[in-house]
Structure 1
Amino acid sequence: MRKFGLLATAVAVALVSAVSFAANASAQPTARFFDPVSKQWLSFGPGARHHGKSPVQREVVDYTGPYGPNTIIVDTGERRLYYVMDNGKALKYGVGVGREGFQWAGTHRVTRKAEWPGWTPPPAMRKRQPGLPAHMEGGPNNPLGARALYIGNTYYRIHGSNEPWTIGTAVSSGCIRMTNDDVTDLYERVNVGTKVVVRR
């Protein structure tokens, strides 16, 4: 009887562990993104919620502001990016913005575009976080994600992210984050020289 009791206990523990593992795995799915350059589905994660989608969906909205077509407007307070189009319309995207102490504003131009960009953390960031690499090659695990638009001569970029759940929050060191789906869409619409207006 004692052996049977020990065996039953072991089986029960194993079952609880298996259920717990399965629950955690299903609660934190891997995000997936279709890259139009490689024509492949790529996985990001683990732990990427919303299945790689932004909690803020891209939409076309009316626009009556002062900026002309082919202008990017980042409203950091609203945590939205607007790409102004013709006919009084704009594309509205959700973005992640700089956290407290890293907000900024200004008007610049897109000076460079990159697909699957490499990441070289600036010296000030490496000083704050000594464990960061000197450089990271581009790819699905790179914090800059699938695309990057470089803003003026600043360290800041509008870039993708392998953490889509951070969209709509203030968590970055000043860069503007988008989902990989959204930044790829924006990347195809803009050229080097496009005006970028960042408002607080």
Structure 2
Amino acid sequence: MTRVRFGFTRSAAALGVVAASIALAGCGATTGGGGSREAAIAFAMSKNYPTALPVQFRKTEIPDPTGEAPGTIVIETGQRYLYLVQPNGTALRYGVGVGKEGFGWSGEATVQNKQEWPDWVPPPEMLERRPDLPLRMSGGPENPLGARAMYLWKDGKDTLFRIHGTNEPLTIGKAMSSGCIRMINFDVEDLYSRVPLGTKVVVR
């Protein structure tokens, strides 16, 4: 079991505006299932890091600083790093973006669901704050959940927090989301391939 720690259809022109406005809106309650759409596949990241991503936030293997069991995901929100503990005394370290002030979350949860190119459905609380948001957005290159999403549950309930992708490398290392943990698509695809359902996540 892997362990993780914490924290309508519109016109094409309008979609660009909506995508920009929700880029900082974080994530919400969605069942995913958007699938690998043709546009999303065409948009998929190359096998190189975008030059905009600072070197210190690119994936690297380091001596495990967490002290947790292998398979555990540990998210240090203050450091803006996500660690996936390896069985050889090391950890894979990824740079992440975290929740802005007032939207952070910490505790322990489990990866209950995983989706490729997930749909995005803002929860009622987010729609109250942002009535301009769409009621639903299909998975694809403009979707704020990016290429992959892992849904975190605690005590049998959806926390509404996710580890998900983004195509905005400049947001990595910053506190800009509504609480969710964001990774560039290149990294979230890598993590997604390594993390099974039931993985435990700890967010500090």
Normalising by structure 2, report the TM-score: 0.73
1:183 paired residue number: 188
Alpha-carbon distance, 1:41 to partner: 4.8
Maintained 8 Å contact 1:98/1:176? yes
Q: Deviations over 1:174-198 (max 9, x none)?
A: 0000000000000000001001000
Equivalenced residue count is 158
1:39-188 alignment runs, 5 A limit: 40-42=41-43, 51=50, 54-55=53-54, 56-152=57-153, 153-188=158-193
1:26 paired residue number: none
* Residue identity in the other structure for 1:188: S
CA distance in 2, matches of 1:158, 1:183: 8
Maintained 8 Å contact 2:166/2:182? yes
Maintained 8 Å contact 1:145/1:160? yes
1:25 paired residue number: none
CA distance in 2, matches of 1:115, 1:193: 17
The runs of at least 4 aligned residues of structure 1 exceeding 6 Å deviation read none
| SS in structure 2 of the partner of residue 155 of structure 1 | strand
2:6 paired residue number: none
Maintained 8 Å contact 1:54/1:94? no
- Aligned pair in 2 of structure 1 residues 43, 69: CA closer, same or farther (>3 Å)? closer
* Residue identity in the other structure for 2:74: I
- Bigger-Rg structure (1/2): 1
Alpha-carbon distance, 1:66 to partner: 2.9
CA distance in 1, matches of 2:75, 2:168: 19
Normalising by structure 1, report the TM-score: 0.74
Maintained 8 Å contact 1:52/1:179? no
Alignment of 1:196 onto 2:201: yes
Return the structure number with greater helix share. 1
Q: Which runs of 5+ in 2 are unaligned?
A: 1-35
Larger RCO of the pair (alpha carbons < 8 Å, separation 6+):
2
Question: Quick one: percent identity of the two aligned structures?
Answer: 54
| SS in structure 2 of the partner of residue 100 of structure 1 | coil
Alpha-carbon distance, 1:162 to partner: 2.1
Maintained 8 Å contact 1:53/1:179? no
